[in-house]
Amino acid sequence: MPTVPKKRVSLCDVPSGTVLECQVFKPHKADIQIIVVAPSGDYWPIFQALLSDADKIARNAAGDDLPDLPVGWDVTTKEEREARRKAVSNKDPEV
């Protein structure tokens, strides 16, 4: 299990010249974050991807002991998303 970063703070509090480390942090199975970590353990997220695709969530969780998805997390299959797109594109435009 990866180390959980210490606390989220502002980059303004880090002295110039501080060497930072870049890490992938996954708080749960559908959340991927790229974070910058200071030597103190403080961190700053610089990118976040929140997944709803069932296949991507399964790939993201493979090999990692990650917490389950938060209650109510929207998970869809490729077929469900394609059906939703088709339904939206077939609607008559309102006049």
Spell out the domain ranges in the chain: 7-89
Predicted confidence at residue 2, as pLDDT, reads: 47
Predicted confidence at residue 8, as pLDDT, reads: 76
Question: Would you state the structure tokens that stand for residue 85, as one six-digit string?
Answer: 């797109």
Question: In tens digits, what is the pLDDT along the chain, a chain of 95 residues?
Answer: 345 667 777 778 888 998 999 999 998 999 999 999 888 888 888 999 999 998 999 988 887 888 888 888 889 998 998 998 888 887 766 65
DSSP 8-state assignment for residue 53: B
Across the strands, what pairs with 31? 50
Predicted confidence at residue 33, as pLDDT, reads: 93
